[in-house]
Amino acid sequence: MRKGFLIDMDGVIYRGGEMLPGADRVIATLRERDLPFLFLTNNSQRTRRDVATKLRRMGIDACEEDIYTCAMATARFLARQKPGGTAFVIGEGGLLQALHQNGYSIVDHDADYVVVGEGRTLTLEMMETAVRLILGGAKLVATNLDPNCPTQNNGVRPGCGAFVAMIESATGVKAFSVGKPSPIMMGGAGMELGVPSDDIVMIGDTMETDICGGVQMGYGTVLVLTGGTKTTDLAHFAYRPDYVLNGIGDLLEHPWLKETSPEAEPLCSGVSNYELSPTLP
């Protein structure tokens, strides 16, 4: 069957500013086999063009149409809910552009929504405005609920989920989240691939977002061990990935990327019986 692939980026394609082994060859092979794919990210800061440029500078063949961000998913969702609406935004260029492209105006009073993304521009004044608007009736929407974001030096900083938690605590209002693992983002990206959901594969490094989102949609799931999950973590989850790979480069040996080969058997039969080579450093 012709597969379609949804591919997380940080921890799968690259880590920090460096491409992970085999990522460029996997993407080249997908293009050669004419297998549809999208890069998925829960980072709302950058535009699609910015993300594609970052990938190309690493040596990965990518264009804007290959990118699907939580900012896009959020903006499209809001445009369906309330066309031509208004939003007060805590976030950066990628989120602002996505909202504008979907017919939204950015305001600082009388907003229909308070939309929260990640970034480094957060101020206490912005938080105060968000709280005031929500208590006045604006709806609280999060691009994602990731508590932290990786940084270039392999550290972390507070993410969208941390900002949202502050607002939730101050207002008593729970945010509606659109990014992974939400079926809004996972389903929207899957529809763009143009293949049946049974033939979609989610490749990621995080159980709570990538794998959980894929499982909930009925997609095939591949966990790579080059990011935030270790093999010892897997026993703590009620769900499991269909395949576990040391890195995305190992996908080149999988029958999915070979022109003629039988359907592959899962690399694991249960969380207590994974057969894995050593994790990449």
Whether 165 and 196 map to the same domain: the answer is no
- Does any domain span residue 207? yes
Whether 230 and 153 map to the same domain: the answer is no
Whether 188 and 172 map to the same domain: the answer is no
Catalytic residue among 8, 205, 210, 242: 8
Catalytic annotation present for 10 = yes
Whether 146 and 78 map to the same domain: the answer is yes
* Boundary of a domain, candidates 177, 206, 237: 177
- Does any domain span residue 25? yes
- Does any domain span residue 109? yes
- Does any domain span residue 156? yes
pLDDT of residue 1: 60
Give the domain range for residue 16: 4-42+183-257
Residues β-bridged to residue 201: 5, 220
Whether 167 and 198 map to the same domain: the answer is no
Whether 82 and 173 map to the same domain: the answer is yes
Q: From residue 42, give the alpha-carbon distance in Å to each of 10, 125, 132, 213.
A: 10, 25, 27, 12
pLDDT of residue 256: 85
* CATH code for the domain in which residue 138 is found: 3.40.50.1000
Backbone angles phi, psi at 197, to 5 degrees: -60, -30
Whether 33 and 77 map to the same domain: the answer is no
- Does any domain span residue 241? yes
Domain count for the chain, please give it.
2
pLDDT of residue 259: 55
Whether 217 and 133 map to the same domain: the answer is no
Catalytic annotation present for 8 = yes
- Does any domain span residue 272? no
Residue in 182, 183, 181, 147 with CA at minimum distance from that of residue 165: 147
* Boundary of a domain, candidates 177, 197, 230: 177
- What is the SS3 string spanning the chain? CCCEEEEECECCCEECCEECCCHHHHHHHHHHCCCCEEEEECCCCCCHHHHHHHHHHHCCCCCHHHEEEHHHHHHHHHHHHCCCCEEEEECCHHHHHHHHHCCCEECCCCCCEEEECCCCCCCHHHHHHHHHHHHCCCEEEECCCCCEEECCCCCEEECHHHHHHHHHHHHCCCCEECCCCCHHHHHHHHHHHCCCHHHEEEEECCHHHHHHHHHHHCCEEEEECCCCCCHHHHHHCCCCCCEEECCHHHHHHCHHHCCCCCCCCCCECCCCCECCCCCCC
Whether 98 and 83 map to the same domain: the answer is yes
- Does any domain span residue 172? yes
Whether 206 and 161 map to the same domain: the answer is no
pLDDT of residue 255: 84
* Boundary of a domain, candidates 147, 177, 207: 177
Measured CA angle at 164 (ends 160, 168), to 5 deg: 170
pLDDT of residue 279: 32
- Does any domain span residue 54? no
Buried/exposed 75-91: b ≥16 CB within 10 Å, e otherwise:
bbbbbeeeeebbbbbbb
Residue matched to tokens 């500013």 = 17
Whether 214 and 243 map to the same domain: the answer is yes
Whether 130 and 146 map to the same domain: the answer is yes
Residue-by-residue pLDDT tens, the chain, 281 positions: 679 999 999 999 998 789 999 999 999 999 999 999 999 999 999 999 999 999 999 999 999 999 999 999 999 999 999 999 999 999 999 999 999 999 999 999 999 999 999 988 899 999 999 999 999 999 999 999 999 877 666 677 889 999 999 999 999 999 999 999 999 999 999 999 999 999 999 999 999 999 999 999 999 999 999 988 999 999 999 999 999 999 999 999 988 886 544 444 444 433 333 333 333 22
